[in-house]
Chain A
């Protein structure tokens, strides 16, 4: 089991440039089946042992690709996501940063009526350490197979949280980087639903940040969950009105502050971590308290 990726995941990489090639190699070295690359106009070539096709449709028909990983630059990223959806790829993960928001409005509308799941854009991807199945850009050394799911808007904070967990001996069932943009394919709430339903997951680390109301929506769902959730919200000291790197990380109104999000999550029953260096130790304590570690 696991979330979104498992032993049967067959990854196609859309946008087989420098980043796509590097991560294809990293994923293959890890043990993931990277079956095909798609770069229109280069179909028929083989790059670094990976066959290239012109379309995602060919990747699905010929190589049974069931996960698409997108590195296509921002102006073409919406097109790449829609092409993968049209080809019926069940899991579509977009790493690309800087996709125009109004492009994502159209993409999101298409995915709202689709059987495909979109993760991102502007995200580090998805990994299942037990299955050694990876579609993303995360460093693999920090992961340890185990029973904690990690969800984050930020990429580097996924690595930080996973590293802290591994250092205290708490392994991970998987991590899902949902992305730092205002409009993303899969919300934190949706990602929580996936881990709640996963039999290999016992607890979840959720890493949110300032801006928007996604953490409050996650809190509504946490009220109904059976599994414990440990939360860190980045940006408690960020000034209002300034965009802190991520396009979505801007405090516009009271709901966007870290304090408002922490309060909603605390009231929902989540365990709040104030200091980012305490994520691992807090999860260990929560697991021990429940007899899960």
Chain B
């Protein structure tokens, strides 16, 4: 679950990370007042779950409160389109009004999970403000890493090594170490999955600040991160994904094609999208129904797919393990009978209780396209949309 910049900064500040003075505004008038409160000048930053906001017109400098009001009026309510959002963009419901800072130096800092090492890693680079992937590709020597070993915890010397590597020394060393330690504490206490400050800024008056902040929380830890999970901004999620989530389907991703998919297991679901592509089609969604234990759960999932106006045909691809194919078969019949799945529907069943599953399909007058195996199923569903 992603936090907005202003939420991430508030979280980091609780753990000692210094952030610029800032006020969230939800109307142009609030932005005007906030700018006046900050001394008459401010930067107005769109709050949306994407980077590269500046290039997309989502970040503007205001030299007067009146100008701040104008900028905020243009930004609040816009659909912010960046290379990370897709063509539809993300809605902007608020702006962060922040003090202007005089930048002496910018560095990169983040914490992420290092899957191979099995522990989080703190990453720093003196090349701040840039896309870290590009830095890693072009100048790998400019990337510095320190792991957070759960036995010893993250130590001051590790923070100092990163600070030195980024050119902090003398009076600026202490504040940089405090900032790094604060980021690590916030990550650990909040079940972070990624936390990024890009850039950390050394100001001309010697302060070390988090000028931007991104923070994602591990969805698996939602049960013990209730306060943070309440910060979720539902406007940043696709409508179909919210609908699926509210129906209890955790693993749904909306895609750009026209073939709806209902699959059990994430790997099989990904492979199904791949097979559809190879057969010349494009999937409208990823949906891992997991262990569907009732026809009602299957109907609820098929309703999400069947009511998607982009969907022209549907592929049900199930290899039952914990999931029972007879339950899936009954769910498909029920969804068809209730008129929730008007599109041509290809069904491929294998695994647990498959004889009973096929018998249920055979016994029903509902029209379905039966497939035997993966490639056959993909071919048939692609043919159905052509």
Contacts and interface: CB of A to CB of B under 8 A. Distances in A.
Nearest to A212: B115
A2 interface: no
Interface in A239-293: 239, 241-249, 253-254, 274-278
Contact of B321 (A159, A241, A277): A159
Nearest to A160: B319
A234 B273 CA distance: 9
Nearest to B352: A139
A108 interface: yes
Interface string B191-220: 101000000000000000000000000111
A237 B277 contact: yes
Given A106-B150, A210-B270, A155 B265 contact: yes
A101 B220 contact: yes
- Interface-centre pick from B115, B270, B272, B374 (highest chain A CB count, 10 A): B270
SS class, residues of chain A in contact with chain B? loop
A138 B118 CA distance: 27
A246 to B, nearest CB: 4
Contacts of B378: 277
Contacts of A278: 375
B237 to A, nearest CB: 12
A196 interface: no
A51 interface: no
A102 B118 contact: no
Nearest to A247: B220
Interface in B136-188: 136-137, 148-151, 188
Interface in A150-190: 152-157, 159-160, 163, 180, 182-183, 187
A234 B374 contact: no
Contact of A160 (B84, B115, B374): B374
A216 to B, nearest CB: 9
Given A105-B150, A277-B275, A235 B270 contact: yes
Interface string B313-354: 000000111100000000000000000000000000011100
A106 B219 CA distance: 18
Contacts of B276: 237
B267 interface: yes
Contacts of A183: 113, 115, 118
A195 interface: no
B267 A234 contact: yes
A246 B224 contact: no
A148 interface: no
Contacts of B270: 154, 209-210, 234-235, 238, 244-245, 249
A96 to B, nearest CB: 10
A155 B267 contact: yes
B133 A254 contact: yes
Interface string A68-104: 0000001100000000000000000000011111101
A197 interface: no
Contact of A254 (B113, B137, B375): B137
A98 B264 contact: no
- Interface-centre pick from A156, A207, A235 (highest chain B CB count, 10 A): A156
B374 A277 contact: yes
A129 interface: no
Given A105-B150, A137-B321, A207 B267 contact: yes
Contact of B275 (A109, A209, A242, A275): A275
Contacts of B267: 152-157, 180, 207, 209, 234, 245-246, 249
A108 B283 CA distance: 36
A232 interface: yes
Contacts of A239: 253, 255
A124 interface: yes
B108 interface: no
B208 to A, nearest CB: 27
Contacts of B84: 241
B118 A238 contact: no
B275 to A, nearest CB: 5
Contacts of A106: 150
A276 B374 CA distance: 7
B98 interface: no
A105 B184 CA distance: 14
Interface string B236-259: 000000000000000101010000
B52 interface: no
A182 B120 CA distance: 11
26 contacts: A105-B119, A105-B120, A109-B149, A124-B321, A138-B321, A142-B350, A142-B351, A153-B267, A154-B267, A156-B319, A156-B321, A160-B319, A160-B350, A163-B319, A180-B267, A209-B266, A212-B115, A212-B116, A214-B116, A235-B270, A238-B270, A242-B286, A247-B220, A254-B133, A277-B275, A277-B374
Interface of A: 19, 74-75, 97-102, 104-106, 108-109, 112, 124, 137-139, 142, 152-157, 159-160, 163, 180, 182-183, 187, 207, 209-210, 212-214, 217, 232, 234-239, 241-249, 253-254, 274-278
Interface of B: 84, 113, 115-116, 118-120, 133, 136-137, 148-151, 188, 191, 193, 218-221, 223-224, 251, 253, 255, 263-278, 283, 286, 288, 290, 319-322, 350-352, 373-376, 378
A-B CB proximity, top 7 nearest? A154-B267, A245-B266, A156-B265, A277-B375, A156-B268, A108-B118, A277-B374
